[in-house]
């Protein structure tokens, strides 16, 4: 029986991951944790944890007999640029705390499986932009991306050197109707739906032809759980797997919204986030994920837009906060 701890459970991925894991393993076996107020999202237990507090994490792992730990707490690309030192400290030390804990538990005969999310932000301007391969030049330009690249190297090191069972995905931009725009460069693809449902013209901070890889949240959650459930011998990549969902640009997304919601209007005023987006891939080659653990995306643009327009509220309401 798995006992699972999700740190960063109040975030965009965490909130929906806790819900999915609770359905799979039982609510009593999933502990939601974050630095903020209590939120359960389907779990029956909630603990307040600062991921920078290694002692607190170890106490919770021991108390509940945790066998799987998802470390999702982080500062994202745009918010990270506003506080680079804070972003580096949180993103790197949080990962190191859980890797060290897993190393110690493994040495004591108490294996602890780790999931940590990487990102397309780990790539950079010299990375091949179309069908970006699993193994490619990585020269990130943001502190968020730099922390993700360094984190991938740490994950692979802890697996190779200490046998820590750590697994990771380079997430594309994640789209969800349950979370508001958080602090990521791809968040235009969430904000656009909120404007559309309010009947407002949307001003996009990226140019119309800025194609980026994206993934709808149900596919992102399915990929995460599928990777964690895969037998260890099938997980050949211990840095982070490319996982592709779909790729589109703001113009293509707006056109599909208009097809389903006539009258929607968009205008473009690229800002500082454009420079970040210009260094990221247009599409990802996820051959390794497909071959190793059977990954395949299932949700296309038309279905994504239909579901977002159905579920995004027409008026602002209290939603989950992105990590």
- 30-34 vs 266-268, strand pairing mode: unpaired
* Strands of the sheet with 173-175, listed across from one edge: 173-175, 212-216, 246-248
In the block, tokens 């969430």 appear at: 190
* Annotated active-site residue in 144, 171, 202, 216: 144
DSSP code for 185 = G
Q: Output the six-digit token pair for 166.
A: 């750590």
| SS3 per-residue string spanning 226-271 | HHHHCCHHHCCCCCCEECCCEEECHHHHHHHHHHHCCCCCEEECCC
How many other CB atoms sit within 10 Å of the CB of residue 79? 17
Tell me how far apart the alpha carbons of residues 154 and 163 are, in angstroms, rounded to a whole number. Answer: 12
Long-range contacts of 25-30 (CB under 8 A, 24+ apart): 25/1, 29/1, 29/2, 29/3, 29/4, 30/4, 30/6
Contact 186, 173 (CB under 8 A): yes
CB 165 within 8 A of CB 114: yes
Please give the Cα distance from 29 to 240 (Å, whole number).
26
- Of 55, 19, 56, give the one whose Cα is nearest residue 34: 56
Rounded Cα–Cα distance for residues 199 and 218 (Å)? 26
**Residue burial 215-240, b: 16+ Cβ < 10 Å; e: rest:** bbbbbbbbbbbbbbebeeeebebbbb
**Residue 144 is a catalytic residue:** yes
| Residues involved in catalysis | 144
């Amino acid at each position: 029986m798995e006992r699972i701890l999700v740190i960063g459970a109040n975030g965009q991925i965490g909130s929906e991951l806790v819900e999915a894991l609770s359905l799979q393993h039982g609510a009593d076996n999933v502990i939601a944790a974050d630095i903020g107020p209590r939120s359960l999202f389907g779990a029956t237990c909630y603990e307040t944890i600062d991921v920078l507090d290694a002692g607190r994490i170890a106490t919770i792992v021991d108390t509940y007999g945790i066998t799987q730990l998802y470390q999702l707490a982080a500062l994202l690309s745009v918010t990270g640029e506003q506080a680079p030192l804070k972003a580096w400290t949180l993103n790197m030390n949080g990962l190191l705390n859980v890797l060290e804990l897993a190393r110690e538990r493994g040495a004591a005969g108490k294996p602890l499986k780790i999931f940590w999310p990487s990102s397309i932000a780990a790539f950079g301007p010299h990375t091949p932009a179309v069908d970006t391969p699993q193994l490619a030049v990585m020269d990130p330009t943001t502190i968020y991306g730099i922390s993700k690249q360094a984190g991938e190297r740490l994950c692979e090191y802890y697996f190779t050197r200490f046998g820590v069972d750590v697994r990771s995905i380079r997430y594309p931009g994640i789209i969800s109707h349950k979370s508001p725009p958080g602090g990521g460069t791809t968040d235009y693809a969430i904000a656009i739906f909120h404007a559309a449902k309010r009947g407002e013209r949307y001003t996009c901070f990226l140019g119309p032809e800025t194609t980026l890889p994206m993934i709808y949240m149900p596919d992102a959650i399915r990929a995460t759980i599928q990777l964690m459930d895969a037998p260890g011998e099938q997980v050949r990549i211990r840095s982070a797997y490319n996982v592709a969902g779909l790729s589109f640009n703001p113009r293509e997304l707006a056109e599909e919204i208009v097809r389903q919601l006539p009258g929607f209007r968009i205008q473009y005023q690229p800002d500082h986030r454009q420079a970040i987006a210009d260094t990221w891939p247009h599409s990802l080659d996820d051959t390794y994920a497909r071959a190793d653990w059977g990954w395949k995306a299932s949700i296309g643009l038309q279905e994504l837009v239909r579901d977002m327009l159905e579920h995004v509220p027409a008026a602002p309401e209290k939603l989950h906060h992105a990590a």
